[in-house]
Chain A
Amino acid sequence: MTGYLIRRFGQAVIVLFFVTVITMLLIHLFPGGPIRAMLGPRATVQQVAIFNHLYGFDRPLYIQYLKWIDQLAHGNLGYSPKLNLTVAALIAQDLPKTMILVVLGTVVSLAFGVPLGMYQAVKRYTAGDYVLTGVSFLGYATPTFFVGLLLIEWFAVSVHIFPPEGPQGSSIGQILSDPQALVLPVLAYSFVLYALWSRYMRSAVMDNLVQDYVRTARAKGASERRVLWGHIFRNSLISIVTLLGLSFPTLVAGAVFIEVVFNYPGMGLAFYNAAQNVDFQVLLGFTVLATVATIVGNLLADISYAMLDPRVRYSR
């Protein structure tokens, strides 16, 4: 297994290299250059030149790249002139809040998605299965932001059960002190994820139900319950765990939209604001961070897959 992991790690490093190249090129795609985009069409050519020099955009591309990598290695993610903060500070401020949303939302979605998916597989083609399938398809077809809008409309505007905005505040403590305001954002966030887990769980369990080893277990005299929980659940979970690791981009997307809809002061909202203001250091920094997280997530997915599936763990 160690061989396998070392290989995967090496692959991840290479991927990271490609990613940094792509991301840097992306910034330079802005017509007129990133500085022009940031300062707007009314900035004078001299102003643009000054900033170009300041940020090193007048140097050759590969020099810029190397400088940037150097910066990153030192933990310097840049500076946001619009917010007057280093990007690192911004992240330190907003990341924890986003984490709360993401973690809670994922936990809720798993808590519903995994058991219900299994239920659907066991009771396949019954009315319950069809209803839940319908819900899942709804989840695939509804934009996350719209789920948020609907929840606000139903539970905050028409009936005032929950506040229409997410918890405000700059620290985790402040966020957590307003749990009522967390309910709708977390629910909205988890809805689409729920659809994903339940569909995959249903599929995995159904695939496992017809495997030969299930027949063997029954031939031993195992009850359906034992077969389900002792054999099928474990084997189906492997695919869910790996899926979890690979779903980071989806988690990020959800965060952006939910935070915008609920005005939740996390990284998603900050990214959106940065986009509106063409605060490209923030954009770059956030993207790099999210990408690294995605790569790490993929790696974790592979690691857990290797650990959970003995065929990989003890491969010769």
Chain B
Amino acid sequence: MAPLLRVEDLHTDIRLKYSTVHAVDGVSFSIEAGETLGVVGESGCGKTMTALSIMNLLPTGGRVTSGSIKLDGTEITGLSEEVMRNIRGNEIGMIFQDPLTSLNPTMTVGNQIAEAVRLHREVSKEHALERAAEVLDLVGLPRAKERINEYPHQFSGGMRQRVMIAMALACEPKLLIADEPTTALDVTIQKQILELIDDLRRRLGMAVILVTHDLGVIAGRADRVAVMYAGKIAESTGTGTLYANSRHPYTEALFQALPDKAAETRERLYSIPGMPPDLTHPPAGCRFAPRCRYVQDRCRAEEPDLRGETADHVFACFFPVGAREREDLKISAPPPAQEVATPVAPRANGQVLLAAEHLVKDFPVTSGAVMQRRTGTVSAVADVSFAIRNGETLGLVGESGCGKTTIGRLIVGLERPTGGAIMYGDRDLVRSRGREYRRQRRAIQYMFQDSYASLDPRMRAGAILREPLEVQGVGSRRDRVKRVEEMLGHVGLPQTAVERYPHEFSGGQRQRLGFARALMLSPTLIVADEPVSALDVSIQAQVLNLMRELQREMGLTYLFISHDLAVVRYLSNTIGVMYLGKLVEVGPADEVYLTPAHPYTRGLIDSAPVADPKAERAKVDAGVHGELPSAIHPPSGCRFRTRCPLAQEICSVVEPPLQPFGANGHRAACHFPLQTPSEAEGQQV
């Protein structure tokens, strides 16, 4: 049977002011009706451009320069705009990453969907709106008929994405292209949306192209996968085969850079050295060669074709993993530079370095520019207590609105708590003022999430790094310069970096710079807020390795805040799970992950995609239902009860206290926990 879509040797260029980027450089794949093809790769690999090329929706300056795209046997490249318009939204639908900006804010949701219908079907406005309500119902939007007259900003993120999906499916296309559809969503909502897409695919018999950078998402949802690198496909096969038996060195390296697998063994992650090539002047030879562990001369001179032993598993490499050629030439991976390091354990004294006691932070919701009237309060942090021991890493994990970022900011002094204490040693940081307070700042430093925004674009790196010393009046000018040099060495940046401006660095390098700045004052505690969330997997690995290394060398303690459970698990000794301003569970990392006591933790773990197809498929009917309640009017009693499958009446009346589970400080706040609480008073965390 002919495939639904066949792409052959597609080339797409993007013309910039002074150069041309060869974003897609010879990509071929096909997809059958009813199946899901995952296209995975890091930023700049060309996966989004490939998707846009199919519908000819390229940005200004973009053009398909050669190749063929056949939809149901018909060639669709080179078609006139008019004919192409009939295909867009009708035979091929597309959804994008950010549902907030992708919807017209001044049109009702119903009208936008109706527009999609009326563009391709001869129906009246009323019928189109009926169809809109119908299809909104199909995607699981509650009270669809009423809500078609609402505007996009009145919906939550997950709901908006459902609206986008409804719009794309309104005319029942044969193919749905989803470009990073869940990247901007919370993990629990992500699972709902991915399940929805899967479900619709089965029901409507559609094919789905799922474009993403997340190997976990692919593991759970795709039938087949194409891994892209530098504008070309590196490897393509069925999902199970890819994860079990990948052949291309890049794919292999990607898996080794993921914290998922290493989380158990706490090995050092494999970080792929170097950077992807500049696609304005693509190199001769294999594109991955400069970064490949197994590189040979032939790789640098010739470009490998996409081929394989079976048609079902193709890869572009002369010396793939497990190939005979390798044994012949005695190529093997260099001895693992990743020594199995002893997992970072708390220091012998295990003393509490910092303790948060009953922290509360409320943000007023005001209206009125003349007189600020308090119309409501956002309860961002509601009575949270925890302790961090010397030398360990406490990972705070949770979804948007849970308060983890606020806690980070409270600890470093960017916000003042509404209530509670932060004990550092025997002093309450909240009570300190003035000079004493500023001196105490030296011990606790911060790594920002957005490296670009946290570095002054008008200052050179050297000045940025010297600033902490200048503010605290440490050392002479000479000392400071020396210390900057030292620190650059520690974080693996060259000395020439001092003269550069932030925009001249890559994302990973900027994070190192931010890390270096945090280290300048020799702090004991570093609060890192989502330090690797914006980075590609391979760069992420570099930064995580660096953080671990320096923790050991300098005896640092981390409060690591992230929404990514795999990363948190990899790096932390202790995990704290937060939901809507409350700490719902805390304990040793492995215990919390493997034997969670709180239903939300369980749901979170189930929702987070892991790069293991078998594990993913096994997660049937797991996850968390429903939407996040408002933080201005949080549910009474247990805040999680509105989404909890185990909720009973007592949950709405009495807020559950933290109870101990076991002797290692594992505690959770639930009336009906998943484990049996222990009677013994465990070690006080």
Contact = CB atoms under 8 A, between A and B. Distances in A.
B548 interface: no
A255 interface: no
- Among B55, B85, B106: residue with most chain A CB under 10 A: B106
A310 B105 contact: yes
B367 A216 contact: no
Interface string B80-98: 0110011111100110101
Contact of B104 (A7, A221, A223, A235): A235
A226 B108 CA distance: 17
Contacts of B87: 221
A154 interface: no
Contacts, number: 90
A316 to B, nearest CB: 8
A215 B96 contact: yes
A221 B86 contact: yes
Most buried by A among B89, B104, B168, B368: B104
A311 B88 contact: no
A4 B367 CA distance: 8
A219 B103 contact: no
A238 B106 CA distance: 10
Contact of B88 (A219, A224, A309): A219
A213 B370 contact: no
B94 A311 contact: no
A219 B150 CA distance: 22
A226 to B, nearest CB: 8
Contacts of B105: 213, 235, 309-311
A37 B245 CA distance: 96
Interface in A204-223: 211-213, 215-223
Size category of the B interface is 35 or more
| Residue from B81, B101, B102, B164 whose CB has the most chain A CB atoms within 10 Å | B102
B120 A7 contact: no
B364 to A, nearest CB: 15
A150 B120 CA distance: 54
B244 interface: no
Nearest to A234: B106
Contacts of B55: 219
B153 interface: yes
A310 B164 contact: no
Contacts of A211: 101
A3 interface: yes
Nearest to B90: A221
Given A212-B98, A215-B96, A310 B106 contact: yes
Contacts of A18: none
A14 interface: yes
Nearest to B153: A311
B116 A215 contact: no
Contacts of A308: 106
B151 A230 contact: no
A223 B55 CA distance: 14
A230 B104 CA distance: 11
Given A213-B105, A222-B119, A310-B153, A11 B88 contact: no
A220 to B, nearest CB: 4
B506 interface: no
A221 B103 CA distance: 15
B115 A314 contact: no
Contact of A212 (B101, B151, B367, B370): B101
Contacts of A220: 88-89, 115-116, 119, 167-168
A310 to B, nearest CB: 4
Nearest to A211: B101
Interface string A58-100: 0000000000000000000000000000000000000000000
Contacts of A4: 367
Given A10-B370, A221-B90, 9 more contacts: A212-B98, A216-B164, A219-B168, A220-B89, A221-B88, A221-B116, A230-B115, A311-B105, A314-B153
8 closest A-B pairs (Cβ-Cβ)? A221-B89, A220-B89, A212-B101, A221-B88, A310-B151, A213-B104, A219-B94, A212-B102
8 contacts: A14-B370, A212-B98, A219-B57, A220-B89, A221-B85, A222-B85, A223-B81, A311-B151
Interface of B: 55, 57, 81-82, 85-90, 93-94, 96, 98, 101-108, 115-116, 119-120, 150-151, 153-154, 164, 167-168, 367-370
